[in-house]
Amino acid sequence: MVLTAARHQPVMIDRVTDLLRPRPGGTYLDATLGLGGHAERLLEASAPDGRVVGLDRDPAALALAGQRLAWAGDRLQAVAASFEDLGEVAGRLGLDAIDGVLYDLGVSSLQLDEGERGFSYRADAPLDMRMDPTTGISAAEVVATYPRAELARILREYGEERFAGRIARVIDEARRRGPIATTGQLAELVKAAVPAAARRTGPHPARRAFQALRIEVNRELDALRASLPQAVDLLAPGGRLVVLAYHSLEDRIVKQAFADAAGRPVEAPHRLPVDPPAGEPARLAVLTRRPERPSEAEVAANPRAESAKLRAAEKLQPSTEARGGQP
């Protein structure tokens, strides 16, 4: 199935636009261009001469976004890159001060709806899950080669899967009999590993395992940790950073990065092991004391928005004290 950009519904688009405050002449960086829905709104709101630089490592998404936004001409610059390389890309393009940065994290509609990409347990397809299918290891390679204990760790940490050990054992036993090459095979193995009582309610029993493998294959959390400080560096004073996260691991990383840049501690147990250097001045004002959620009406219209959590922050003038509160 081919998903067209016209069917794409960008999550919390009105709130994202309000927070980023696009204006004529501004420069905005969409770190996860996807099918271009958020970028389209930023280009419209910053007309006639606002500019958007969009990053994505999925060639199919870049092609569709380019078609969708062809009307913008050279006001859009689409770049094949991971947001982990945000600073390098900005340097190559001569961008030293950006008015807004947006991250819309996780898997895209394109990747989920094109079953052959191997992201979904709902379609039987090659077990791939790479956002950039031209590089890196596939989910099939992870399942085939990672030690059982490492598989269990990934499922537990990245999928928050309580049956991680059982699933890793079933996978290990199955791969000794033959390759696990398709999403259908993996989904059935996970389903068999999960106790019957736990399968009767809630989402598909393979959902957490597929999430965990996708995160591992694409190094999503490591890339996010590396990227957010680069975004803070690139923002001009008064520029804003908006992040849409879709599960607790992403949101914790965003929360910590914002707190670090605002000079605030993050409460245990969500504190990650590495603390920022002491004594650094605040660089961000956090605009969302708690993550904002989509409205019931938006979730009804776009069920994929249901788990979204939005956080936003504003770059301070050098040596300015952090200030909280809503925009």
Confidence of residue 134 (pLDDT cuts 50, 70, 90): confident
pLDDT computed for residue 269 by the predictor: 40
Count the domains in the chain: 2
Mean pLDDT of 202-217: 90
- Domain boundary (195, 216, 237) is at 216
Mean pLDDT, the chain, integer: 88
- Assign residue 280 a region (left: φ > 0; alpha: ψ between -120 and 50; beta: otherwise): beta
Asked whether residue 303 carries a pLDDT value surpassing 70, the answer given is yes
- Whether residue 141 sits in one domain with residue 10: no
- Whether residue 226 sits in one domain with residue 96: yes
- Whether residue 61 sits in one domain with residue 139: no
Q: Is 273 a member of any domain? A: yes
Mean pLDDT of 129-151: 94
**Residue that is written with structure tokens 């607790």 in the block:** 248
Question: Rounded to whole angstroms, how far apart are CA atoms 128 and 54?
Answer: 24
Q: Which domain holds residue 230?
A: 5-110+220-315
Task: Report the share of the chain in percent with pLDDT over 70.
Answer: 87
pLDDT computed for residue 123 by the predictor: 76
- Domain boundary (187, 216, 245) is at 216
Mean pLDDT of 144-165: 96
- Domain boundary (183, 216, 249) is at 216
Mean pLDDT of 221-248: 97
pLDDT computed for residue 3 by the predictor: 44
**Tens of pLDDT, residues 52-64:** 999 999 998 999 9
Q: Which two tokens stand for residue 36?
A: 């271009």
Confidence of residue 286 (pLDDT cuts 50, 70, 90): very high
Asked whether residue 274 carries a pLDDT value surpassing 50, the answer given is no
Phi and psi dihedrals of 27, rounded to 5? Answer: -120, 125
Do the beta carbons of residue 34 and residue 105 sit within 8 Å? no
Q: Roughly what angle, to the nearest 10 degrees, separates helices 164-177 and 148-159?
A: 140
- Whether residue 295 sits in one domain with residue 161: no
Q: Is 281 a member of any domain? A: yes
* pTM (whole model) above 0.75: yes
State whether residue 176 is helix, strand or coil. helix
Strands (E), the chain: 27-30, 51-56, 76-80, 98-104, 235-245, 284-286, 309-315
CA atoms within 13 A on the CB side of 290: 1
Sheet containing 98-104: give its strands across. 76-80, 51-56, 27-30, 98-104, 235-245, 309-315, 284-286
**Tens of pLDDT, residues 100-128:** 999 999 775 555 555 556 667 777 899 99
- Whether residue 75 sits in one domain with residue 31: yes
Q: Which two tokens stand for residue 288?
A: 């969302």
Mean pLDDT of 233-247: 97
Q: Is 323 a member of any domain? A: no
Asked whether residue 323 carries a pLDDT value surpassing 70, the answer given is no
Confidence of residue 288 (pLDDT cuts 50, 70, 90): very high
Q: Residue 48 carries which DSSP code?
A: T
pLDDT computed for residue 281 by the predictor: 86
Mean pLDDT of 45-51: 97
- Whether residue 228 sits in one domain with residue 105: yes
Mean pLDDT of 188-203: 85
- Whether residue 263 sits in one domain with residue 138: no
- Whether residue 154 sits in one domain with residue 279: no
What is the total residue count of the chain?
A: 327
Question: Rounded to whole angstroms, how far apart are CA atoms 208 and 221?
Answer: 15
Question: Rounded to whole angstroms, how far apart are CA atoms 29 and 101?
Answer: 5
pLDDT computed for residue 204 by the predictor: 82
- Whether residue 299 sits in one domain with residue 227: yes
- Whether residue 106 sits in one domain with residue 151: no
